[in-house]
Amino acid sequence: MTAQIDARPATARSGLPALRASALGLIAVALLAVLPASPALSQADPVVAKVNGMEIRESDLAMAEEDMGQNPQTQALTGDARRDYLVSYMADVMLAAKAAEGKKVADQKEFKSRLAFIRNKLLMETLLQQEGKAALTDAATKKVYDDAVKQMGAEQEVRARHILVPTEDEAKTVLAEIKKGTDFADFAELAKQKSKDPGAAAEGGDLGYFAKEQMVPEFAETAFKMDKGQVSDPVKTQFGWHIIKVEDKRTKPVPEFDKVKEQVETYVVRKAQSDYIHKLQEGAKIERLDKK
């Protein structure tokens, strides 16, 4: 599939050496700390700890874990150690938030401006999550998959080995050695000995299957004109001189739906979100006052 989009939340990630926190996490947790819980919520979302009487619930730990993101300090933590860290993290956030209330931080202009921005951003992200979820249907994902398969068409692939050397004379010498034996000398073994392409040489010069556009033009033109089993004359590219042997030719196989389902779903969600934002932009009057 060609559509690959990062599916992580857009929430900004930042951290302090001793306390992993973002402004969004601080504010969300502070608000949750002063909101009463309904009886139904208490049953579905149990209290796991208390900090000076303030409750830390299972949902708070889930938010804390999301807030940590890909922080390297916590990636290695698993099981009880990770849970202990999350509880400690939440306790620090709630204590700091309570202290900030005592210092009237919430009345400061900078805090109010930041809170307004984060509120808008959280509203946007929540709305886009809902739009993406609504768009994620079996019919939508199947259509994206089917359309992508149609676009692939009957794309041809070649599997080839090559031996790369610096000069034309060396390439001619290698080719002569290949042609000495019946049915050619062992190309793979010769590639291990002679090729200057360390990655492919380790595999006997095997490049696997590739499409025409994946190789430099001179190499691709030669490889795709050859028949299975043929060995080329020396071919010059920007990397040096190549001797190419075509191992196989095929029509590129279509990936099974189940193997690309997650990728397709990500595309459907992100496209729905992008389309929604574009629609809002089209109906809006956006003025730049800092430019003539």
Q: Which residues of 171-194 are buried (b: 16+ CB within 10 A; e: fewer)?
A: beebbebbeeeeebbebbebbbeb
Give me 211's structure tokens.
Answer: 């499409």
Let me know whether 127 and 229 are in one domain. Answer: no
pLDDT at position 5: 28
Q: Measured in whole angstroms, how far is the alpha carbon of residue 116 from the centre of its chain?
A: 30
State percent of the chain over pLDDT 70: 83
Let me know whether 175 and 238 are in one domain. Answer: yes
Tell me the H-state helices in the chain: 23-34, 39-44, 58-68, 72-75, 79-102, 109-135, 138-152, 168-178, 187-194, 198-201, 217-225, 257-282
How far apart CA 42 and CA 165 sit, in angstroms, is 71
**Domain for residue 259, yes or no?**
no
Let me know whether 169 and 101 are in one domain. Answer: no
**Domain for residue 221, yes or no?**
yes
Going by pLDDT thresholds of 50, 70 and 90, the confidence category of residue 185 is: low
Going by pLDDT thresholds of 50, 70 and 90, the confidence category of residue 108 is: very high
Give me 70's structure tokens.
Answer: 């890909």
Question: Looking at residues 116-120, what average pLDDT do you find?
Answer: 96
Bigger pLDDT: 79 or 68? 79
Please report the sign of the dihedral spanned by the C-alpha atoms of residue 211, residue 215, residue 221, residue 226: negative
pLDDT at position 7: 31
Q: What is the CATH number of the domain that holds 233?
A: 3.10.50.40
Least confident of 28-32, 204-208, 211-215, 261-265: 28-32
Least confident of 6-20, 40-54, 178-192, 197-211: 6-20
Q: Supply the range of the domain harboring residue 102.
A: 23-135
Question: Looking at residues 279-289, what average pLDDT do you find?
Answer: 93
Question: Which H or E run contains 103?
Answer: none
Let me know whether 168 and 102 are in one domain. Answer: no
pLDDT at 141 exceeding the cut of 50? yes
Let me know whether 191 and 110 are in one domain. Answer: no
Let me know whether 170 and 234 are in one domain. Answer: yes
Q: Name the residue type at position 115.
A: L
> What phi, psi does 245 have (nearest 5°)?
-125, 125
Let me know whether 106 and 172 are in one domain. Answer: no
**Domain for residue 276, yes or no?**
no
**Domain for residue 196, yes or no?**
yes
Let me know whether 31 and 114 are in one domain. Answer: yes
Let me know whether 89 and 181 are in one domain. Answer: no
Going by pLDDT thresholds of 50, 70 and 90, the confidence category of residue 125 is: very high
pLDDT at position 11: 32
**Domain for residue 234, yes or no?**
yes
Whose tokens are 């730990």? That residue is: 61
pLDDT at position 88: 93
**Domain for residue 94, yes or no?**
yes
Let me know whether 163 and 128 are in one domain. Answer: no
Let me know whether 95 and 163 are in one domain. Answer: no
Q: How many domains are contained in the chain?
A: 2
- Domain stops at, among 87, 102, 135: 135
Residues 13-59: pLDDT tens digits? 333 333 334 444 444 444 444 444 444 545 689 999 999 999 999 99
Let me know whether 65 and 162 are in one domain. Answer: no
**Domain for residue 283, yes or no?**
no
- Domain stops at, among 105, 135, 165: 135
Question: Looking at residues 246-264, what average pLDDT do you find?
Answer: 93
Question: 55 by DSSP, 3-state: which?
Answer: strand
pLDDT at position 34: 42
Alpha-carbon dihedral angle through residues 170, 171, 177, 179, given to the nearest 10 degrees: -160
How far apart CA 267 and CA 254 sit, in angstroms, is 18
* Cβ-based neighbour number of residue 120 at 10 Å: 10
**Domain for residue 18, yes or no?**
no
